[in-house]
Amino acid sequence: MSTSEPYRTLTTRGWIFFTTLWILAAASLYNGAALARCQTAEAIPAAAQISAGTPQNDGLWWKHAVIYEIYPRSFQDSDGDGIGDLNGITERLDYLQSLGVDAVWLSPIYPSPQVDFGYDISDYENVDPQYGTLADFDKLVAEAKKRDIRIIMDMVMNHTSDKHKWFVESEASKSNPKRDWYVWRDAKGVGANGKPLPPNNWISVFGGSAWEYDPKTKQFYYHKFYKQQPDLNWRNPAVENAMFDSVRFWLDRNVAGFRLDAIPTLFEDPQMRDEPATGGINAQSDPNLSDIYTNNLPQVHDVMRRLRAVTDKYPGNRVLIGETYLPNVQDLDKWYGGAQRNELQLPMDMQVGFTNKLDASLFRQRINDAQTQINGNQPLFVFDNHDNVRSWDRYGDGVHDEAIARLLATVLFTSRAATLMYYGEELGMVTTTPTRKQDVKDPIGITGWPKEKGRDGERTPMQWDDSKNAGFSTAATTWLPVAENYHTTNVKTEEGNPDSLLNWHKKLIAMRRSDTTLRDGKQVMLDETNPFVLSYARESVGENPAIIVALNFTGEPRTITLDPSTAGITGKTVSTLITDAPSLRQVSSLQHMTLPPYASWVGSVK
Ligand code: BGC
């Protein structure tokens, strides 16, 4: 498979979680057997041993932020109904503070019929009763603030629920003033079976035609996702006005910004041209299409600039984060507004975290691209979210999974990038894909079974301890089952083990928070032709020495010799800051260093 293939697939299908689920199934990567934990041997510099809650929120706080995605249904249930809620999250803020989190991105908590578990919003200015109330939300924001943690909302602008009052009006009649708020079109004709034919060949990301016929008004409406998620018509300025009002509603409630859901899909080709087929079928048995007329259309950038103008009016550097699965770094740059920097502050760079194979050369190239090809903007790296098989399973080999998880965390937290992590990533939570169709909750897993088993596997409840339901809920049953490994993979157990994956994360995050070199130092690749070991320097900033990182991307020991003078680093005194390889605890030279399989080493040079 060529290195760019996942991204070609991505543009074709429009959605990477299909790609990763497919890769997972094809490679049978899931292997629940957790291995004995590797020994860690960290010598954390005194400067890094600060309280993880130390504020560093002045100025452009988001530049170095650790943003933690919470899937609210699965984080903490406070009222015993088996579903997580806002008060549950508030109860767990101390944990997030101890981890060193700067901001929480909340997956949607708005009122919703929950067809797509909240990504089908029926009221943009309220909280779904199963998650709590607006007062609970305000309390969460206030309690989080006390711990220097910001709250970021998920804003779904591409579509609403079909139960939203705007759509209820829109479908009422062709002459309704809200008719044009959605994308309605006449049938292309009548099929051989006597049924109306959809206006074109566009398919839904979630399977089947992207057009749904309304017999009452005898027209089709467009839905990029489920038919219960009709697309808004962003060519109608009234839609933008209404949506921006909802954005202000939350800004006024002191949210720190938004993660913009499926944002490249706002616009469609007004001529409604058929999309070209690229051959073969996808997991939902639809033809693969190149989504050139329904994804990443240029008009979306005008909306982003106007949205940025809205958020910039508020104090405190509110941030716009984009769910931007893009085919290349040039496209990513456009989402910042290039050198103008007038669109999103942090469009997600999915190029690094979703390479889905441990290939040191590919990681080097993509990290380098993010350092050099986006006009000096700040990259945002991410390995996990609620739509993709967890990185533990996507990158793990079933033998060295935990060492690989440490290596990925090291890439994430020692690169010059803002970072996004997903609840449970810090523990080594695994993907628990349903084994029976009747257990599946995610509709794409029902319609796509058995090829596409849906996204339940990466949404299982957070594992807090080894008590009933992993401490997530007191209910008899939880909305999704708790993963079987919770007896050993949980917060309480890992907090008590200095060598745990959780403590690895805490130490790396603490280093980032305290070390100006790790936060701002230029990231320069070393040993650039090595296909097995990824090595880079972070140039010294302020009093802090330069930092060198070396990561063995293979299951064999690898010996390297690094010459940091190629990055302008002249110091000769080398010391280990953190490593999971006992043999590398006392490194004093960058000559002939042997890294055990999948070992991570971070050191300083003065
Ligand atoms: C979200 C998915 C959701 C889809 C439709 C994606 O970006 O992350 O979970 O199903 O948008 O809203």
d(CA 390, CA 428): 9
Q: What are the structural domain ranges in the chain?
A: 4-160+237-508, 165-222, 522-605
* Over residues 567-588, mean pLDDT: 96
Residue 130 has pLDDT above 70, yes or no: yes
The atom number, within ligand 1, closest to the CA of 156 reads 12
The topology (CATH level 3) of 165-222 is Oligo-1,6-glucosidase; domain 2 (3.90.400)
The topology (CATH level 3) of 4-160+237-508 is TIM Barrel (3.20.20)
- Of 573, 602, 599, the closest CA to residue 507 belongs to 602
- Residue 74 alpha carbon to ligand 1 centre in Å: 16
d(CA 80, CA 98): 25
Verify whether ligand 1 is closer than 6 Å to residue 261 (CB atom).
yes
* Over residues 283-303, mean pLDDT: 96
Q: How confident is the model at residue 59 (pLDDT cuts 50, 70, 90)?
A: low
- Of 467, 463, 465, the closest CA to residue 493 belongs to 465
The pLDDT tens digits for 204-227 are 999 999 999 999 999 999 999 999
pLDDT value of position 273: 98
Residue 25 has pLDDT above 90, yes or no: no
- Of 364, 360, 351, the closest CA to residue 553 belongs to 360
The pLDDT tens digits for 516-569 are 999 999 999 999 999 999 999 999 999 899 999 999 999 999 999 999 999 999
CA 587 to chain centre: 35
Q: Which residues are catalytic?
A: 261, 323
Instruction: List the residue whose alpha carbon is closest to atom 12 of ligand 1.
Output: 119
Residue identified by tokens 């989080």 is 144
The stretches of 132-176 forming alpha helices (DSSP H) are 134-146, 165-170
450 upstream amide cis, omega within 30 of 0: yes
Which of 156, 205, 223, 228 to mutate to test ligand 1, by most ligand atoms within 8 A of the CB atom? Answer: 156
* Over residues 75-81, mean pLDDT: 98
pTM here is: 0.92
Verify whether ligand 1 is closer than 6 Å to residue 85 (CB atom).
no
Q: Strands 319-322 and 257-261, how do they pair?
A: parallel
* Over residues 360-371, mean pLDDT: 97
Verify whether ligand 1 is closer than 6 Å to residue 456 (CB atom).
no
> Tokens standing for 10?
């991505």
Residue 299 has pLDDT above 80, yes or no: yes
Query: 3-class SS at 392?
Result: helix
- Of 235, 187, 229, the closest CA to residue 207 belongs to 229
Verify whether ligand 1 is closer than 6 Å to residue 323 (CB atom).
yes
Q: How confident is the model at residue 348 (pLDDT cuts 50, 70, 90)?
A: very high
- Residue 205 alpha carbon to ligand 1 centre in Å: 10
- Of 396, 383, 357, 458, the closest CA to residue 34 belongs to 396
- Residue 237 alpha carbon to ligand 1 centre in Å: 24
The topology (CATH level 3) of 522-605 is Immunoglobulin-like (2.60.40)
- Residue 261 alpha carbon to ligand 1 centre in Å: 6
Name the amino acid, one letter, at 595.
L
Which of 115, 116, 265, 323 to mutate to test ligand 1, by most ligand atoms within 8 A of the CB atom? Answer: 116
- Asked whether the CA dihedral 333, 336, 341, 346 is positive or negative, the reply is negative
DSSP states of 465-515:
-SSGGGGS--SSS-SSPPPGGGGTSSHHHHHT-TTSHHHHHHHHHHHHHH-
- Residue 492 alpha carbon to ligand 1 centre in Å: 31
